[in-house]
A and B are shown apart, each in its own frame.
Chain A
Amino acid sequence: MNFDNMRFTKNHEWVAFENGSDVVTVGITDFAAGELGDIVFVELPEIGTTVESMQAIGTIEAVKTVADLYSPVSGVVKEVNGSLEENPDVVNKSPFKDGWFLKIDLEDRAQLDDLMAKSDYDTLVGR
């Protein structure tokens, strides 16, 4: 796994970016997925929704808990991972790859600088 092109939030979301593109991919970390346990349902915003950083934009449900999904960045939702509807367990199995949640067209690329690098995130969760 290459984490160089990823940034993290204290709410345990990750953002993956590519050079030269304003569209980033968003998901939750392996730590968050592990804490929630078996994820049974994911509710995501509709394509075209304008979202703001730190705004609750969806929910992630396990058997006996539910967590809000906070948008790590501001922008417009370009794509959502439709396969999670049928197979939410992918988030547990592959949180950083197949278990991605949505793609957001960034309002402003500079906001990525406010997020954490992998090493800082690992410190946050005590790894």
Chain B
Amino acid sequence: MNIQKIKSDFPIFKRLINKKPIIYLDSTASSLKPKEVIDAISAYYTEYSVNIFRGVYALSEEATEAYGNARESVSKFIGAALDEVVFVRNATESMNLVANTWGEEHIKEGTSVVTTVMEHHANIVPWQVQTKKHGAELRIIDIDEEGDLKLENLDKLIDKKTVLLAITHMSNVLGTINPVKDLIKKAKSINPNIVVLVDAAQSVPHMKVDVADLGCDFLVFSGHKMLGPTGTGILWGKLHLFEEMPPYQYGGDMIKEVGLYSSTYKNPPHKFEAGTPHIAGGIGLGAAVAYLTKIGMENIRQHEIEITRYALNKLNEIDGIKIFGPKKAQDKGGVIAFVMEGIHPHDLAQILNEDNICVRSGHHCAMPLHKKLGLIASTRASFYIYNDEGDVDALIEGIKKAIKIFK
């Protein structure tokens, strides 16, 4: 991978703030966008900015085709069938869609939902609400010192009455890559009827993910973390589940036939896509998938292992640092959360910002995990295709500067 060449594909890197370049280490929150994606969005608005599925005129046909192609690109990217890919606003909306349709019908008194302590709030709060509402039980898989899931007692947490296992593929704080494929096998051997939802918001942008290979029932991710536009997300689900589920929202685009007093609905995925969708966003996401495919997901994963290894080595040399999550780069994604003795994460991020080094400080939408780690907040640096060793070196220099200020 030629990182300099990739960097040149991202117009934002031409920008200087206070005459200094941008060192972007927050792709776990949102990725930057390459010119291809920006151009695809711009082309829609400039050349064929009309609604889809409606007109028989050439422009509408063109927009419909482009939006359909985007769905096809996304479905191929994750090894899915075309009618199993629903466009939503973000991964959070995917969870809420499942919680409010499938969850509403299956989470009942006496049942349980199992999730983990390392989830993003999006994969825990909807389940708290649904289990409370229906008198079901929410059970939590804990982690060990290394930040790996404790799976010895899985058969105590999952039983015949467990309807859902909602689990992240990759922690957005620890970077832990969960053994989701094995875990699903084990869960389904305990309870063949369990439905498994995988939060792939951190994995799909960074490694090859194939829904059939994983063996899950739902898989969700966001477009904006994988070079695509904000306001785009994907819910993938098995067709038979989608067919049984009631619609999520009602109105235009999702109906087959409307009478005055009752209506029938389209088949999946359209049944879950009420109203005019984010057409430009979908097309932009299609362009992002094309860009990632061109680079190759195996290459991306390899690059991130290498840069994470480099960063872990350098960071570990700093006195007073504590790094969370798996110790080896190959066991984790390109995410490093840490705390510095005597320097609050906010203050560290502020000092790094003086040199345009963009890191995240706070709880990263994972308050239960931070509580488990005994922290209020941490600093998180994360890597993607446009990061190189120079970015890591800048981070190290920035941390040393903060140490000097706070010593």
A binds B: no
